[in-house]
Structure 1
Amino acid sequence: MPDPAPPFQNAQVAAAFAGFPTGTRAGLLVLRDMIFATADETPLVGRIEETLKWGQPAYLTPDSKSGTTIRLGVPKTGGFALYVHCQTTLVSEHRSLFPTDFTYGGNRALLFDEKQVLPKAPLRLFIRNALTYHLKGSQK
Protein backbone atom coordinates (compact mmCIF):
# COMPACT_ATOMS: atom_id res chain seq x y z
CA MET A 1 0.00 0.00 0.00
CA PRO A 2 1.48 3.41 -0.95
CA ASP A 3 2.35 5.93 1.71
CA PRO A 4 -0.40 8.41 2.53
CA ALA A 5 -0.16 11.86 0.99
CA PRO A 6 2.22 14.19 2.78
CA PRO A 7 0.99 16.93 5.09
CA PHE A 8 -0.15 20.12 3.40
CA GLN A 9 2.81 22.18 2.19
CA ASN A 10 1.28 25.52 3.12
CA ALA A 11 -1.49 26.97 5.25
CA GLN A 12 -3.37 28.42 2.27
CA VAL A 13 -3.83 24.99 0.69
CA ALA A 14 -4.92 23.52 4.03
CA ALA A 15 -7.43 26.37 4.40
CA ALA A 16 -8.77 25.76 0.88
CA PHE A 17 -9.43 22.11 1.72
CA ALA A 18 -11.00 23.05 5.05
CA GLY A 19 -13.38 25.37 3.19
CA PHE A 20 -14.81 22.63 0.97
CA PRO A 21 -18.09 20.99 2.02
CA THR A 22 -17.51 17.71 3.89
CA GLY A 23 -18.53 15.26 1.11
CA THR A 24 -16.69 17.25 -1.51
CA ARG A 25 -13.59 17.52 0.70
CA ALA A 26 -13.48 13.74 1.14
CA GLY A 27 -13.46 13.18 -2.63
CA LEU A 28 -10.88 15.89 -3.22
CA LEU A 29 -8.61 14.39 -0.55
CA VAL A 30 -8.82 11.02 -2.34
CA LEU A 31 -7.74 12.75 -5.57
CA ARG A 32 -4.91 14.52 -3.68
CA ASP A 33 -3.69 11.19 -2.30
CA MET A 34 -3.80 9.69 -5.81
CA ILE A 35 -1.75 12.57 -7.23
CA PHE A 36 1.05 12.11 -4.69
CA ALA A 37 0.97 8.29 -4.90
CA THR A 38 1.03 8.33 -8.70
CA ALA A 39 3.90 10.84 -8.72
CA ASP A 40 5.87 8.62 -6.33
CA GLU A 41 5.39 5.61 -8.63
CA THR A 42 6.13 7.41 -11.90
CA PRO A 43 9.74 7.79 -13.05
CA LEU A 44 10.93 11.25 -14.11
CA VAL A 45 8.17 13.17 -12.29
CA GLY A 46 10.14 14.16 -9.20
CA ARG A 47 8.90 16.41 -6.45
CA ILE A 48 5.30 17.64 -6.45
CA GLU A 49 4.69 21.23 -5.41
CA GLU A 50 1.31 21.87 -3.81
CA THR A 51 0.11 25.45 -4.08
CA LEU A 52 -2.97 27.51 -4.94
CA LYS A 53 -3.84 28.66 -8.45
CA TRP A 54 -7.03 30.64 -8.92
CA GLY A 55 -7.88 29.79 -5.31
CA GLN A 56 -7.78 26.05 -6.01
CA PRO A 57 -5.29 23.43 -4.81
CA ALA A 58 -2.80 22.91 -7.63
CA TYR A 59 -0.08 20.32 -8.20
CA LEU A 60 3.03 21.07 -10.25
CA THR A 61 6.26 19.30 -11.20
CA PRO A 62 8.64 22.26 -10.65
CA ASP A 63 11.95 20.41 -10.77
CA SER A 64 11.39 18.02 -13.68
CA LYS A 65 8.81 20.20 -15.47
CA SER A 66 7.44 16.87 -16.72
CA GLY A 67 3.78 17.64 -16.24
CA THR A 68 0.99 20.08 -16.74
CA THR A 69 -0.63 21.62 -13.69
CA ILE A 70 -3.41 19.60 -12.06
CA ARG A 71 -6.00 21.55 -10.08
CA LEU A 72 -8.73 20.32 -7.75
CA GLY A 73 -11.97 22.18 -7.22
CA VAL A 74 -15.72 22.41 -7.10
CA PRO A 75 -17.52 23.13 -10.39
CA LYS A 76 -20.60 25.34 -10.48
CA THR A 77 -22.69 22.23 -11.21
CA GLY A 78 -21.70 20.68 -7.85
CA GLY A 79 -19.65 17.65 -6.93
CA PHE A 80 -15.90 17.97 -7.39
CA ALA A 81 -13.46 18.03 -10.26
CA LEU A 82 -9.91 17.42 -11.40
CA TYR A 83 -8.82 20.11 -13.87
CA VAL A 84 -5.95 20.31 -16.38
CA HIS A 85 -4.97 23.05 -18.81
CA CYS A 86 -7.61 23.34 -21.53
CA GLN A 87 -5.03 23.40 -24.34
CA THR A 88 -3.68 19.94 -23.49
CA THR A 89 -4.99 16.84 -25.23
CA LEU A 90 -5.37 14.96 -21.94
CA VAL A 91 -9.16 15.03 -21.64
CA SER A 92 -9.86 14.21 -25.29
CA GLU A 93 -7.37 11.31 -25.23
CA HIS A 94 -8.86 9.98 -22.00
CA ARG A 95 -12.39 10.33 -23.35
CA SER A 96 -11.43 8.18 -26.36
CA LEU A 97 -10.13 5.44 -24.02
CA PHE A 98 -12.86 5.69 -21.37
CA PRO A 99 -15.95 7.23 -23.01
CA THR A 100 -18.42 6.14 -20.32
CA ASP A 101 -16.24 5.85 -17.19
CA PHE A 102 -16.20 9.59 -16.49
CA THR A 103 -18.23 12.74 -16.82
CA TYR A 104 -16.10 15.18 -18.77
CA GLY A 105 -16.15 18.95 -18.46
CA GLY A 106 -15.23 20.14 -21.93
CA ASN A 107 -11.53 19.75 -22.65
CA ARG A 108 -10.33 20.59 -19.15
CA ALA A 109 -11.99 18.51 -16.43
CA LEU A 110 -13.07 15.18 -15.05
CA LEU A 111 -16.23 15.71 -13.00
CA PHE A 112 -17.31 13.60 -10.05
CA ASP A 113 -20.39 13.17 -7.92
CA GLU A 114 -19.84 12.93 -4.17
CA LYS A 115 -21.54 9.53 -4.00
CA GLN A 116 -19.84 7.82 -6.94
CA VAL A 117 -17.10 5.24 -6.63
CA LEU A 118 -14.01 6.61 -8.34
CA PRO A 119 -12.68 4.43 -11.18
CA LYS A 120 -9.19 4.25 -9.69
CA ALA A 121 -7.15 2.58 -12.44
CA PRO A 122 -8.37 4.87 -15.26
CA LEU A 123 -8.09 7.87 -12.95
CA ARG A 124 -4.51 7.01 -12.01
CA LEU A 125 -3.71 6.72 -15.73
CA PHE A 126 -5.12 10.21 -16.31
CA ILE A 127 -3.07 11.62 -13.42
CA ARG A 128 0.08 9.85 -14.67
CA ASN A 129 -0.47 11.27 -18.15
CA ALA A 130 -0.92 14.76 -16.70
CA LEU A 131 2.23 14.43 -14.56
CA THR A 132 4.24 13.35 -17.63
CA TYR A 133 2.48 15.46 -20.28
CA HIS A 134 5.59 17.40 -21.31
CA LEU A 135 7.54 14.16 -21.77
CA LYS A 136 5.29 13.13 -24.68
CA GLY A 137 7.41 11.94 -27.54
CA SER A 138 10.37 11.31 -25.24
CA GLN A 139 10.84 8.38 -22.89
CA LYS A 140 8.10 8.08 -20.27
Structure 2
Amino acid sequence: MMNEQVLSTLSCYPDSVQTTLLQLRTIIFDVAATHQLGEVHESIKWGEPSYSVKGGTPVRMGWKVTNPQQCFLFFNCNTSLVETFRERYAELLILQGNRAIVLNLDSPIPVLTLRQCVKMAFTYKTIKHLPPLGN
Protein backbone atom coordinates (compact mmCIF):
# COMPACT_ATOMS: atom_id res chain seq x y z
CA MET A 1 0.00 0.00 0.00
CA MET A 2 1.30 3.43 -0.92
CA ASN A 3 2.01 6.03 1.76
CA GLU A 4 -0.82 8.61 1.71
CA GLN A 5 1.59 11.56 1.52
CA VAL A 6 3.36 9.97 -1.44
CA LEU A 7 0.03 9.30 -3.15
CA SER A 8 -0.97 12.92 -2.61
CA THR A 9 2.36 14.21 -3.95
CA LEU A 10 2.22 12.01 -7.05
CA SER A 11 -1.36 13.06 -7.78
CA CYS A 12 -0.11 16.64 -8.32
CA TYR A 13 2.16 15.58 -11.20
CA PRO A 14 1.13 15.25 -14.87
CA ASP A 15 -0.08 11.77 -15.90
CA SER A 16 3.09 10.94 -17.87
CA VAL A 17 5.23 11.83 -14.84
CA GLN A 18 3.03 9.77 -12.52
CA THR A 19 3.40 6.77 -14.82
CA THR A 20 7.20 7.03 -14.86
CA LEU A 21 7.49 7.62 -11.11
CA LEU A 22 5.22 4.67 -10.39
CA GLN A 23 7.49 2.52 -12.57
CA LEU A 24 10.48 3.74 -10.55
CA ARG A 25 8.64 2.98 -7.31
CA THR A 26 7.96 -0.56 -8.53
CA ILE A 27 11.65 -1.01 -9.35
CA ILE A 28 12.65 0.25 -5.88
CA PHE A 29 10.32 -2.12 -4.03
CA ASP A 30 11.21 -5.03 -6.31
CA VAL A 31 14.95 -4.56 -5.74
CA ALA A 32 14.44 -4.59 -1.98
CA ALA A 33 12.31 -7.74 -2.17
CA THR A 34 14.54 -9.56 -4.67
CA HIS A 35 17.66 -8.98 -2.60
CA GLN A 36 15.90 -9.46 0.76
CA LEU A 37 16.93 -6.01 1.98
CA GLY A 38 14.08 -5.65 4.44
CA GLU A 39 11.16 -3.30 4.65
CA VAL A 40 11.20 -0.23 2.42
CA HIS A 41 10.36 2.94 4.33
CA GLU A 42 8.37 5.24 2.05
CA SER A 43 8.02 8.90 2.99
CA ILE A 44 8.23 12.46 1.70
CA LYS A 45 11.57 14.24 1.99
CA TRP A 46 12.08 17.72 0.57
CA GLY A 47 8.64 17.47 -1.01
CA GLU A 48 9.47 14.29 -2.96
CA PRO A 49 8.90 10.56 -2.49
CA SER A 50 11.82 9.00 -0.61
CA TYR A 51 12.68 5.34 -0.09
CA SER A 52 15.08 3.75 2.35
CA VAL A 53 16.01 0.41 3.86
CA LYS A 54 18.08 -0.36 6.92
CA GLY A 55 21.76 -0.49 5.98
CA GLY A 56 21.40 1.69 2.91
CA THR A 57 21.21 5.29 1.86
CA PRO A 58 17.89 6.79 0.72
CA VAL A 59 16.73 7.16 -2.87
CA ARG A 60 14.34 9.97 -3.80
CA MET A 61 12.43 10.46 -7.00
CA GLY A 62 11.07 13.68 -8.34
CA TRP A 63 9.95 15.95 -11.11
CA LYS A 64 10.42 19.70 -11.55
CA VAL A 65 8.22 22.16 -13.43
CA THR A 66 11.45 23.71 -14.72
CA ASN A 67 12.36 20.41 -16.45
CA PRO A 68 8.92 19.12 -17.49
CA GLN A 69 10.23 16.37 -19.81
CA GLN A 70 12.46 14.78 -17.17
CA CYS A 71 12.16 12.81 -13.95
CA PHE A 72 14.98 12.39 -11.48
CA LEU A 73 16.24 9.67 -9.21
CA PHE A 74 18.20 11.40 -6.44
CA PHE A 75 20.96 9.91 -4.30
CA ASN A 76 22.82 11.27 -1.29
CA CYS A 77 25.44 13.65 -2.69
CA ASN A 78 27.82 12.74 0.15
CA THR A 79 28.19 9.20 -1.21
CA SER A 80 30.22 7.88 -4.13
CA LEU A 81 27.12 6.44 -5.78
CA VAL A 82 26.67 8.80 -8.73
CA GLU A 83 30.44 8.82 -9.33
CA THR A 84 30.28 5.01 -9.53
CA PHE A 85 27.27 5.17 -11.86
CA ARG A 86 29.25 7.55 -14.08
CA GLU A 87 32.17 5.10 -14.24
CA ARG A 88 29.98 2.09 -14.97
CA TYR A 89 26.95 3.35 -16.84
CA ALA A 90 27.99 6.58 -18.56
CA GLU A 91 26.78 5.29 -21.93
CA LEU A 92 23.40 4.26 -20.49
CA LEU A 93 22.50 7.04 -18.06
CA ILE A 94 22.25 10.82 -17.98
CA LEU A 95 23.74 11.95 -14.68
CA GLN A 96 23.47 15.32 -12.98
CA GLY A 97 26.33 16.38 -10.75
CA ASN A 98 26.94 14.01 -7.86
CA ARG A 99 23.32 13.45 -6.95
CA ALA A 100 20.93 12.42 -9.71
CA ILE A 101 20.04 10.14 -12.59
CA VAL A 102 18.02 12.07 -15.17
CA LEU A 103 15.30 10.19 -17.02
CA ASN A 104 13.73 11.66 -20.14
CA LEU A 105 9.99 11.01 -20.19
CA ASP A 106 10.06 10.22 -23.92
CA SER A 107 12.76 7.53 -23.57
CA PRO A 108 12.48 3.99 -22.24
CA ILE A 109 13.51 3.49 -18.63
CA PRO A 110 16.81 1.56 -18.38
CA VAL A 111 15.30 -0.90 -15.91
CA LEU A 112 18.24 -3.27 -15.45
CA THR A 113 20.70 -0.43 -14.92
CA LEU A 114 18.38 1.36 -12.49
CA ARG A 115 17.94 -1.87 -10.55
CA GLN A 116 21.71 -2.03 -10.08
CA CYS A 117 21.84 1.62 -9.00
CA VAL A 118 19.05 1.17 -6.44
CA LYS A 119 20.70 -2.01 -5.14
CA MET A 120 23.97 -0.12 -4.63
CA ALA A 121 22.13 2.64 -2.72
CA PHE A 122 20.21 0.17 -0.58
CA THR A 123 23.38 -1.79 0.30
CA TYR A 124 25.66 1.26 0.48
CA LYS A 125 26.72 0.88 4.13
CA THR A 126 27.90 -2.66 3.37
CA ILE A 127 29.69 -1.93 0.08
CA LYS A 128 30.99 1.64 0.46
CA HIS A 129 34.48 0.45 1.42
CA LEU A 130 34.76 -1.86 -1.62
CA PRO A 131 36.21 -0.49 -4.87
CA PRO A 132 34.10 0.22 -6.91
CA LEU A 133 31.19 -0.19 -4.53
CA GLY A 134 31.39 -3.95 -4.50
CA ASN A 135 29.90 -4.81 -7.88
* Length-normalised TM-score, structure 1: 0.86
1:15 maps to what in 2?
8
**Which of the residues 30, 34, 37 maps onto 2:23?**
30
**Number of residue equivalences:** 129
TM-fit CA distance, 1:120 = 1.2
Instruction: State the secondary structure of the residue aligned to 1:23.
Output: helix
Alignment partner of 1:91 is 2:82: yes
* Displaced runs of 4 or more, over 6 A: none
Give the whole-Å Cα distance in 1 for the aligned partners of 2:58 and 2:118: 10
Letter in 2 for 1:60: S
Structure 2: runs of 5+ lacking an equivalent = none
1:123 and 1:105 map into 2 onto residues whose CA distance is 15
How many percent identity over aligned positions?
Answer: 29
**1:53 corresponds to:** 45
Q: Counterpart of 1:73 in structure 2: which amino acid? A: G
Return the match for 1:113 from 104, 109, 113. Answer: 104
Partner letter of residue 126 of structure 2?
Answer: L
1:72 is aligned, of 41, 45, 61, to 61
2:25 partner SS: helix
Give me the CA root mean square deviation.
1.7
How far apart, CA to CA, are the structure 2 residues paired with 1:134 and 1:20?
32
Cα deviation for residue 77 of structure 1 reads 2.5
Larger CA deviation: 93-102 vs 30-39: 93-102
Q: Which residue of 2 aligns with 1:103?
A: 94
Aligned to 1:42: 35
Amino acid at match of 2:59: I
One-letter amino acid of the counterpart of residue 67, structure 2: T
Q: Which segments of 5 or more consecutive residues in structure 1 lack a partner in the other structure? A: 1-6
